[in-house]
Structure 1
């Protein structure tokens, strides 16, 4: 065997690379088609919006004699009013929704005024995903004692 023939003979390189590329393309196509057929990407859920919210407590309330809470949207994502509720915890469970806002979006600078909280109660701003029905707490605060 001559050394010169070894460097000039490249007849086996092209078919091997071609087979490797064909196998790689076939595997990628099978994965993409399989994910569409099995709907693997369709089970993703919406992520909860991010917002900074401030809770201000007024113990001599204008809505109720027990006091009221003002929930102020400071910054962050716009929240659709049909998807948010302000709820409070009472005796270990969650009270029913205390406030359902109107149809305009809840954006920075907007306020929600609710009345009737108890000392030490946890007040939460809850977002519910309209598509899946799952919920996330955007912000929470404990009422003063």
Structure 2
């Protein structure tokens, strides 16, 4: 047995690397095709809007004008401070027990969307934890955009 021939003999390396590369390419191609067939690529476009909200709480006051009621006795004004404009039909407010939609014509007045500067008045209890909730277009997903804890919560 010639030791020099054994060291220089690398005929088996090339076919092994070729097989590994072919298997890797096949797996990657199958994953890409499967993601499009199963519709996984469509879910990435359904993103939650980015918006900031502030809250102005007044204890022991009843709201005047148009408002949403999920409790009684205290007024909470939810103000859209900035970020994306959101369709009012996608927004709701909830205290965990009761909820109401923003798309009530009286809630936003003439506006059909919640944009920077718009506000909604909500009547709540003293111990409520109020959440502004966004529901996706398909209705199968929701996200909490903002949370407010009343002083008695």
TM-score, structure 2 normalization: 0.64
Which residue in the other structure is 1:81 paired with?
A: 87
> Secondary structure at 2:100's aligned position in 1?
coil
Instruction: Give structure 2 stretches of 5+ with no counterpart.
Output: 66-72
CA distance in 2, matches of 1:20, 1:122: 56
Which residue in the other structure is 2:124 paired with?
A: 117
Q: Which range moved further: 98-107 or 12-21? A: 98-107
Give the aligned length.
138
- For the structure 1 residues 30 and 8, does the alpha-carbon distance in structure 2 shift closer, same or farther, using more than 3 Å as the test? same
Task: Give 1:16-95 correspondences, 5 Å limit.
Answer: 16-42=16-42, 46-58=46-58, 59-60=60-61, 63=64, 68-74=75-81, 77-82=83-88, 83-85=90-92, 87-89=93-95, 93-95=97-99
1:7 aligns with 2:7: yes
Larger Rg: 1
TM-score, structure 1 normalization: 0.66
Instruction: Give structure 1 stretches of 5+ with no counterpart.
Output: none
CA distance in 1, matches of 2:48, 2:40: 21
